[in-house]
Structure 1
Amino acid sequence: RPMADGVEIRAADLFLPGEALLSARGEAQIAALARRFASAPAVEIRSHGADARHERFDEWDLAAARLGAVARALQARGLVRDRLLIRG
């Protein structure tokens, strides 16, 4: 849902259950976000909550791995690393 100057996306819309791998749908959403925020001075990425299916990761590790996956995907689509702020 829209937030002040951004968007909120459920992890289930980006990731495979219990994993930090972006799904095809997630890759498409990240690509759209990268285009939307291409000229933003900074992009903050946050993680809230947990995935009930944490087979490989505990809740903290899963959140951290997913934040890293989103940051790397945004960087791969042209957002400069120095403009990405990750908060877990």
Structure 2
Amino acid sequence: MSIANPPQGDTSAETAKGITAAEAASRVRRIVVEVVEGKDRQGNPTKSEKIREIRLDPADVLSYRDYGTHVVVVTVDGQKLTDAED
């Protein structure tokens, strides 16, 4: 391999072809834990956690990459989110 002939590989422009930040944001979900206040059977106040998945706003996307099988999104607050199945 010489300097005149750099290795042929995918560039970020080629791998990100066609996908926009809005499309990447629509493919991932942010997991949010809400504290819900309620009452038990005796009428005592209780708190329980409710887990929700909310859509990501395109304005929250700092960076993204489409790997073909999944999309990875980095948000402006530093979270790394993906649409890959666990």
TM-score computed with the length of structure 1 as normaliser? 0.24
TM-score computed with the length of structure 2 as normaliser? 0.24
More helix by share: 1
More strand by share: 2
Question: Highest relative contact order (Cα 8 Å, sep 6+), 1 or 2?
Answer: 1
